[in-house]
Amino acid sequence: MFRKKVIAGNWKMNKTATEAVTLAKDIIDEVGRETSVDIVLCPPFTALSAVAHVLEGQAVKLGGQNMHPAKNGAYTGEISAEMLRTLYATHVILGHSERRTYFCETDAFINQKVVTALAHELKPILCVGETLAEREAGATLAVVQRHVEGGLSGVKPEQITTVIIAYEPVWAIGTGEVATPEDAQEVCGAIRGRVLETFGADVAAAVRILYGGSVKSSNVASIMAKPDVDGALIGGASLDPDEFVGIVRFRLHPPELVS
Ligand code: PEP
């Protein structure tokens, strides 16, 4: 089945609103109307509104980096699905390893967010992935399956294809150490296999699974060439417009020409 590739940029806690506008403009000048790939920009909350204006009329989509599962209430510092929606966000990153590590987010809590996001017609980008210690202990697939099952618990089969799953080995995030295309394929393939067991073949064939972790324009093509990798979640390289645009145009860098 054809699955449109997704390239999502996670700007993390970088860029003031003014700087974010400049970055978004630099990106849309090059690929603003690109429709062969789904492009999602995820600025910090404080820049969502400003970037939403820049993206008006463009094909590029807007995403949040996190949200709280509650509708509203006494959750100081948090923002809701509805708040994201009213800023024209269509996507939201959930369960990023930095949230799991620094803010102690559990699979159960992340699952609540996934369910809430879907109820508000936000597409969750659910991040899963093992730490270096877990990989060295041979627990990669078990950890990733636990994150996938925990994150998707209670989600209806017809909603699963709205979820984008991002395999992000923690040891590859921001380290410059990228997983080999074979490692990325092994884990993304295993994730699709688990989706197949739980939700059936049609859902598994349609759900999009990304790789994230030190992706750059120089290594993206070989990873994207793998059959179960449907795109990439980009951290550091998404802050450099030339790099990000180079990643979006990954088809211009055939894998065999990548060193
Ligand atoms: C990320 O934080 O989601 C990520 C993939 O970061 P980087 O590309 O910098 O490794």
**Residue 75: per-residue pLDDT:** 98
Q: Is the pLDDT of residue 53 over 90?
A: yes
Catalytic residue among 98, 105, 130, 168: 168
> Annotated catalytic, 168?
yes
How far away, in angstroms, is 11 Cα from ligand 1 center? 9
How far is CA 233 from its chain centroid? 5
* Structure confidence at residue 253 as a pLDDT band (50, 70, 90): confident
How far away, in angstroms, is 186 Cα from ligand 1 center? 19
**42: helix, strand or coil:** strand
Exposure letters 10-34 (e unless 16+ CB within 10 A, then b): bbbebbeeeebbebbeebbeebbeb
Instruction: Name which residue sits closest to atom 1 of ligand 1, judged by CA.
Output: 235
Find where tokens 């059959």 sit.
227
Mean pLDDT computed over 204-226: 97
**Residue 59: per-residue pLDDT:** 98
> Annotated catalytic, 253?
no
Mean pLDDT computed over 35-47: 98
Burial class (CB within 10 angstroms; exposed 0-12, middle 13-18, buried 19+) of 158: exposed
Instruction: Name which residue sits closest to atom 2 of ligand 1, judged by CA.
Output: 235
Residue 71, token pair as written in the block: 């509708």
Mean pLDDT computed over 5-28: 98
* Structure confidence at residue 256 as a pLDDT band (50, 70, 90): low
How far away, in angstroms, is 200 Cα from ligand 1 center? 30
Residue 228, token pair as written in the block: 């179960």
Angle of CA points 63, 65, 66, to nearest 5°? 115
**Residue 252: per-residue pLDDT:** 83
Q: Which of 168, 175, 238 for a ligand 1 pocket mutation test, highest count of atoms within 8 Å of Cβ? A: 168
How far is CA 84 from its chain centroid? 16
**Residue 254: per-residue pLDDT:** 63
**Residue 214: per-residue pLDDT:** 96
Find where tokens 């294809």 sit.
161
pTM for this model (two decimals): 0.96
Pocket of ligand 1 (CB under 6 A): 10, 168, 173-174, 212-215, 233-237
**Rounded distance between C-alpha atoms, residue 236 and residue 161, angstroms:** 27
Q: What percent of the chain has pLDDT over 90?
A: 96
Instruction: Name which residue sits closest to atom 8 of ligand 1, judged by CA.
Output: 235
Instruction: Name which residue sits closest to atom 6 of ligand 1, judged by CA.
Output: 235
* Structure confidence at residue 255 as a pLDDT band (50, 70, 90): low
Element (H, E) at 241: helix 241-248
Q: What is the DSSP string of 136-163?
A: HTT-HHHHHHHHHHHHHTT--HHHHTT-
User: What atom of ligand 1 comes closest to residue 98's alpha carbon?
Assistant: 2
Exposure letters 233-256 (e unless 16+ CB within 10 A, then b): bbbbbbbbbebbbbbbbbeebeee
Mean pLDDT computed over 215-226: 97
Catalytic residue among 68, 96, 147, 253: 96
**Residue 224: per-residue pLDDT:** 97
The 10s digit of each residue's pLDDT in 55-93 is: 999 999 999 999 999 999 999 999 999 999 999 999 999
List CB contacts of 86: < 8 A, sequence separation 6 or more. none
CA-wise closest residue to 130 among 171, 178, 100: 171
Q: Is the pLDDT of residue 100 over 90?
A: yes
The 10s digit of each residue's pLDDT in 112-134 is: 999 999 999 999 999 999 999 99
Task: Report CA-CA distances (Å) from 150 to 11, 73, 104, 210, 234.
Answer: 26, 25, 15, 18, 24
User: What atom of ligand 1 comes closest to residue 175's alpha carbon?
Assistant: 10
The 10s digit of each residue's pLDDT in 193-213 is: 999 999 999 999 999 999 999
Q: Is the pLDDT of residue 259 over 70?
A: no
Residue 152, token pair as written in the block: 């998707």
Strand segments, DSSP code E, in 58-119 are: 61-64, 91-94
How far away, in angstroms, is 74 Cα from ligand 1 center? 31
**232: helix, strand or coil:** strand
